[in-house]
Amino acid sequence: MAYQISDECISCGACAEGCPTSAISEGDGKYVIDADTCVDCGACAGTCPVGAPQAN
């Protein structure tokens, strides 16, 4: 299962820069993860200042 970004996201962009597969892009009001591209590495969860990326 891919990671998902919750509504806690403040659109800082830090996770997108650190994603090894460029699975994260800016969405409407928050950043979003493309489930088909995410490899479940967890880097975004470790980078996010508000804990928005969640494993599912």
Contact positions with ligand SF4 (CB under 6 A) in 1-20: 3, 5, 9-15, 19-20
CB 28 → ligand SF4: shortest distance, Å?
Answer: 13
Cα-based distances in Å from 36 to 1, 2, 23, 45? 9, 8, 8, 18
With binding defined as CB under 6 A, does residue 41 bind ligand SF4?
yes
With binding defined as CB under 6 A, does residue 32 bind ligand SF4?
no
Cα-based distances in Å from 35 to 13, 40? 18, 9
DSSP 3-state of 25? strand
Give residues in contact with ligand SF4 (CB under 6 A).
3, 5, 9-15, 19-21, 23-24, 31, 33, 38-44, 47-48, 50, 52-53
